[in-house]
């Protein structure tokens, strides 16, 4: 897929807005202590998962700019990592919105960092339930998701369920 094509670029940016919406739901309202929750000894903590999410979008941006680099940052406090993730996602979306050329295959971005982030957001949602601070289920097909809306603050759910 070529991101010099405006419809393709908009669809990819809509995918990033979907990531933000789902992440916002999984991350918002979690107690600070949730960041250190461990489902088992070998599992990553939620704060480590969110740090990885930020690293994924830093990597995606570096690939898009044509200067690929991977930097795995250590996990910091929960709120710090949540802010860092959304800042990283926004920087990537801002680059795509700028119309600058994307210097890598978009399929690689989709099947790599974007798909990986959706997996980890699902893990965080599951960990919320295990930690005793669950989020409500939702019909995401009805969600108000808009290109460019990639921050923690998202529109309220349209159709939640238990």
Output the domain CATH number for residue 106: 1.20.120
Decide if 33 is inside a domain: yes
* pTM, to two decimals: 0.95
pLDDT digits (tens, 9 = 90+) for 74-116: 999 999 999 999 999 999 999 999 999 999 999 999 999 999 9
Q: Which two tokens stand for residue 60?
A: 């995606």
Let me know if residue 112 belongs to a domain.
Answer: yes
Tokens of 117: 């982030």
Q: How many other β-carbons are positioned within 10 Å of the β-carbon of residue 87?
A: 16
DSSP H helices in 33-112: 46-65, 78-98, 106-109
Which structural domain range is residue 49 located in? Answer: 6-161
């Amino acid at each position: 897929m070529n991101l010099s094509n405006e419809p393709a670029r908009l669809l990819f940016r809509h995918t990033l807005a979907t990531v933000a919406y789902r992440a916002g739901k999984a991350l918002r309202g979690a107690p600070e202590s949730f960041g250190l929750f461990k489902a088992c000894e070998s599992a990553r903590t939620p704060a480590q998962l969110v740090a990885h999410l930020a690293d994924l979008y830093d990597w995606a941006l570096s690939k898009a700019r044509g200067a690929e680099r991977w930097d795995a940052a250590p996990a910091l406090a929960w709120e710090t990592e949540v802010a860092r993730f959304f800042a990283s996602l926004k920087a990537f979306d801002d680059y795509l919105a700028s119309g600058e050329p994307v210097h890598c295959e978009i399929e690689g971005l989709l099947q790599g960092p974007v798909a990986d982030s959706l997996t980890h957001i699902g893990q965080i949602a599951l960990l919320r339930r295990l930690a005793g601070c669950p989020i409500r289920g939702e019909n995401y097909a009805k969600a108000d998701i808009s290109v460019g809306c990639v921050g923690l603050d998202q529109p309220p759910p349209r159709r939640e369920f238990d």
